[in-house]
Amino acid sequence: MKETDMCWQILPKVSRSFALCIRILPHRLNEQMMVSYLIFRILDTIEDSRARLKDKKALFNEAISLMGRGRFDKKSAEKLSKRLLEKLDYTYEKELLENLPSVMAAYFSQEKSVQRRILRWGKVMAKGMYIFQKRKIKTLRDQNTYSYYVAGVIGYLFNDLLLINKIISWRLKRRLRRYAKHFGLALQKVNILRDIASDIASGRYYWPSSLIKKYCLSYSKLCKKEYREAALKVLREQIDDARKYLYSAMKYILLLPKKALRVRMFCLIPLFMAIESYAKCIDNCELFETGKVVKIGRDRVQNIVAKSGLWGKDNDRLIAWFIQTLHSAGPDFVREEYTRSLLALKNR
């Protein structure tokens, strides 16, 4: 079996939603994003583990060093795979770690310009992840910086790959840069919200400590039923902060070439899934219960996929769908000033 075929088999086992979206992308770009996602997921598995800090640093460095060698080194890839399996705790990521040599072989099969971009942003991601192993998230600004390292950089990588594949121009890439970062923040911050109970149980703390203290809470109290009203207020402030990033993500999509339907669909599907996930989080006490999973139904996902394909080239339709979805999430989601700036882009 070819290494890339193995990677395609692994992808849905680590993320069904992104497996769906990545397969929609045009040929070559879909494989580039698939390989990038698996590599970044390996870095994410290092970050999320309970391994010692010095072991995490060494594993981050080994992974980045392996990517920067200029050619595929099977023995070193097998060695790193073994070390990751020994040092980290994991669940569904096991098959990904076991097949790290196939992921690296697929990475080195990409053209050099693609390898350089994946390596560049992989370095930024690994460095940022390590920084936040030692630095606590105290403010919303800290949370946004963390979200940039784990998700915003993927927006920048995607821009690079769109340029390499001649889907966008240099001029458009510069215009998309700000929105690309915010797109990543919009997706990451909803994950931070809905994973709060499991993150606390695993010793991971991504909600701003100053915001928790504002409502006389602590992480030890946050998920207890007697403090639910205060916890929901902490949740609400974070959702309010995320609204502007949803609008930025929509601006990113509206600026993409209309003829690039598959690229637009790749962006539309996770954005609308994120909006509906934010809506599910509002005043949802189940967020604070271990074992409860806040997610949207399969029928809603299918509806989003269908509409993305039908309306992906029509900016008027997309804006109407976006505003309607925000309204259904809650009237507080819609901000008039953000909407005006969005409407200014619809006929570009």
Domain boundaries, the chain: 1-134, 136-348
What is the predicted pLDDT for the residue at 331?
Answer: 67
The CA distance from 343 to 334, in Å, is 13
From 269, 275, 252, select the one nearest 304 (Cα to Cα). Answer: 269
What is the predicted pLDDT for the residue at 144?
Answer: 97
Amino acid at position 271, single letter: L
265 and 308 in contact (C-beta within 8 Å)?
Answer: yes
CATH number for domain 136-348, candidates 3.40.50.1980, 1.10.1740.10, 1.10.600.10, 3.10.105.10: 1.10.600.10
The CA dihedral of 312, 149, 46, 163, to the nearest 10 degrees, is 50
Q: Could you check whether 1-134 and 136-348 share the same CATH topology?
A: yes
Other C-beta atoms lying within 10 Å of the C-beta of residue 135:
12
Tokens of 113: 């310009």
The CA distance from 267 to 250, in Å, is 9
238 and 189 in contact (C-beta within 8 Å)?
Answer: yes
Other C-beta atoms lying within 10 Å of the C-beta of residue 333:
22
What is the predicted pLDDT for the residue at 40?
Answer: 97
What is the predicted pLDDT for the residue at 36?
Answer: 97
What is the predicted pLDDT for the residue at 49?
Answer: 93
What is the predicted pLDDT for the residue at 2?
Answer: 83
94 and 85 in contact (C-beta within 8 Å)?
Answer: yes
29 and 111 in contact (C-beta within 8 Å)?
Answer: no
Per-residue pLDDT tens digits of the chain, which is 348 residues long: 688 999 999 999 998 888 899 999 999 999 999 999 999 999 999 999 999 999 999 999 999 999 999 899 999 999 999 999 999 988 889 999 999 999 999 999 999 999 999 999 999 999 999 999 999 999 999 999 999 999 999 999 999 999 999 999 999 999 999 899 999 999 999 999 999 999 999 899 999 999 999 999 999 999 999 999 999 999 999 999 998 999 999 999 999 999 999 999 999 999 999 999 999 999 999 999 988 888 888 899 999 999 999 999 999 999 999 999 988 877 667 777 777 777 777 655
The residues near 289 (Cβ < 8 Å, ≥ 6 apart) are 197, 223
In the CATH hierarchy, which fold is given to the domain comprising 1-134?
Farnesyl Diphosphate Synthase (1.10.600)
Give the 3-state secondary structure of residue 124: helix
Give the 3-state secondary structure of residue 146: helix
Burial of residue 344 (number of CB atoms within 10 Å: 0-12, 13-18, 19+): exposed
